[in-house]
Chain A
Amino acid sequence: MSSNPSPAPPAARRRRRLDPTTPGLLSLPLAWLALFFLVPIGFVGAYSIDALSLYPGAHALTLAGWHDLVHGSVYLRLFWKSVEMSLIVSGVVVLCAYPLAYYLALSGTKRKYVLLLILIAPFLTSYLLRVLAWKVILGDHGVINSFLAWTGIRDPDHPLSQLLYSRFAVMLVLAYVWLPFVALPIFVSLDTLDRRLLEAASDLGASRLQAFRKITLPLSLPGVVAAFLFVFIPTVGEFVTPSLVGGTGGFMYGNEIVDLFGNALDWRTGSVLSLFLLGVVAALTLIFSRFLQVQRVTAS
């Protein structure tokens, strides 16, 4: 597959205004998304007001689904619970991934690509199976509790049962799942950092901490923001992990949507909830992507 980025002839010379090749670059990805993403979402929109319906027969248009969302306390409460859990997970994961990426990119280790691969490789094992393996580790008679009992720290009849089937388990497993994924964009932005900047800072008498604060951190921020989005956004709609390790307390907004489509056959409310999630997170992305641009301006 060739990666020819500019199918338009290189005739253009005006660079400061709209570049005529820009539509050439953007048209394919935008058309793809319009056709295979926006149009399908249009269908969701149609279901949310009963313009389309699962059952045959005529239906009056209705905003009842939206009314339920706003006035039913359950949905919004679940939404905020998911946002909160997602924020914690993303924050923790980015904090953990940054030093990893930093070590790989800047410690001068010769094996950085091998190490990077080692970091990503667990991803090649099915997510579902890795979650099942976590249950073996966290269970009442699992690896951790057996170890605690063996060392005598805990009575085997009173294992740490909060480890599994709890909110903690959901967040731990999510963090586990995302960590390597998140290290990548940070690594990419740190790896391309111009080291001469750091050397210059050092020559000018800056300490390592100062150099980090004034140069490395700001320059790697786009990668960090990208990484944060990587985790935060999909986690809000997450449903597999909560249903596997969350026990009775792990139910999240994503599970609600799945249940509405999957068990209740209530596509209308399901569509409303989906569009709401989509809208909120799209707004957040918009804000963040402005932030990404601001970073670029300050960096150059």
Chain B
Amino acid sequence: MEIALSKNGKRTLRGFFALVIVFLYAPIAILIVFSFNNSDLPTFPLSGFTLRWYRDFLSNADLAAALETSAIVAVLSSLGAVLLGTLASLALARRRFRGKAAISALLLSPLVIPYVVFGISLLLFFHAAGIPLSILTIVVGHMVISLPYTILVLLPRLEQIDGSLEEAARDLGAGRLRTFRSIVLPLILPAVVSAFLIALTASFDEYAVASFVVGTRTTFPIYLYGALRFPSRLPEVIAVAVIVMTASLLVCIGAELGRRAAERRLGGLESPAPS
């Protein structure tokens, strides 16, 4: 009785999904294996089990500091980008104005700039404006980069929501703010969360722009690319990546469990699920 998918179709898609998961996780599995491998270089054959790289990481304050910097930059720039992206998407989806096509093209244009070029030009700008390089300058750059991604996630969602809902709320006397809070926001919340996650991952792993506008606090990708210069530093970095991966998976799973628990408490109430 499901119109979207037949039984066979569902089975086929599930199989396809499983295949893709294998495809996505194969390199991760390789990394996990090599994070325990007793050799500098990630090549077969394996040369024995070791926890050395994890121990090295624990005693490496620089690496930990770089991770911390990246986390701060990622969270701040994603929050900023989602805020800006929500504002822009609301205007694009709900308002009529002249030059909309041009403005939306402008809003999406950071997608197209090669990051090296953007990094250099941002650096020149900060210099001309007398702004010293710091963790803030990376945040500024990453907000620009992430903004179009958040719009591309939020806009389609907003466009699918029936505008008459909002009009009805307004007709019933709700103010703009109230309409947004009680009608629009709950409906776009999953998209907001998606946008935040995309911005977060994009920033956490961004190298080219950060390498130019970084101050004295280095980010993880910069540390990582630099570490490639010395093969002996690679395994430690792989171990860190495995830790980051595991930790973030645990956080995600925890959040999902929490959400389910909350849902159960609310009973059958159909609430849009924040993932």
Contact = CB atoms under 8 A, between A and B. Distances in A.
Interface in A106-152: 106-108, 113-130, 132-134, 136-137, 141-143, 146
A278 B149 CA distance: 17
Nearest to B110: A37
B125 A32 contact: no
Contact of A103 (B6, B16, B124, B180): B16
A61 interface: no
Given A25-B88, A126-B241, A237 B27 contact: no
Contacts of A102: 4-5, 13
A174 interface: no
B79 interface: yes
Interface in B117-134: 117-118, 120-122, 124-125, 128
B13 A99 contact: yes
Interface string A71-111: 00000000000000000000000001001101110111000
Given A117-B252, A179-B24, A180-B24, A43 B13 contact: no
Given A234-B111, A257-B117, A30 B103 contact: yes
A176 interface: yes
Given A189-B157, A271-B117, A286 B105 contact: yes
Contacts of B238: 129
Contact of A6 (B14, B26, B159, B177): B177
22 contacts: A19-B96, A22-B97, A30-B103, A30-B107, A37-B113, A99-B17, A103-B17, A106-B5, A113-B273, A113-B275, A115-B17, A124-B248, A127-B205, A130-B28, A136-B44, A188-B194, A219-B160, A223-B156, A234-B112, A239-B114, A270-B117, A282-B109
A128 to B, nearest CB: 6
The 4 A-B pairs at the shortest CB distance, nearest first, are namely: A133-B27, A40-B121, A281-B112, A106-B4
Contact of B201 (A123, A143, A289): A123
Interface in A277-300: 277-278, 281-282, 285-286, 289-290, 292-293, 296, 299
B114 A237 contact: yes
B205 A126 contact: yes
A124 B240 CA distance: 11
A43 B128 contact: yes
A104 B114 CA distance: 33
Contact of B114 (A29, A43, A257): A257
Given A107-B4, A198-B3, A278-B109, 8 more contacts: A3-B192, A18-B96, A32-B143, A43-B124, A130-B31, A195-B4, A233-B111, A278-B112
Interface of A: 1, 3-6, 10, 16-19, 21-22, 25-26, 28-30, 32-33, 36-41, 43-44, 52, 96, 99-100, 102-104, 106-108, 113-130, 132-134, 136-137, 141-143, 146, 176, 179-181, 184-185, 187-189, 191-193, 195, 198-199, 201-202, 208, 211-212, 216, 219, 222-223, 226, 229-230, 233-234, 236-237, 239-240, 254, 257-258, 261-262, 267, 270-271, 274, 277-278, 281-282, 285-286, 289-290, 292-293, 296, 299
Nearest to B70: A126
Contacts of A226: 152-153, 155-156
A128 B3 CA distance: 42
Contact of A188 (B3, B91, B191): B191
Contacts of A201: 3
Interface in B84-117: 84-88, 90-91, 95-98, 100-117
A222 B91 contact: no
A153 to B, nearest CB: 19
A26 B103 contact: yes
A292 B159 CA distance: 10
B90 A5 contact: yes
B145 to A, nearest CB: 9
Contacts of B2: 107-108
Contact of A33 (B24, B147, B225): B147
A299 B159 CA distance: 9
Contact of A129 (B20, B26, B237): B237
Interface in B212-234: 220-221, 224-225, 228
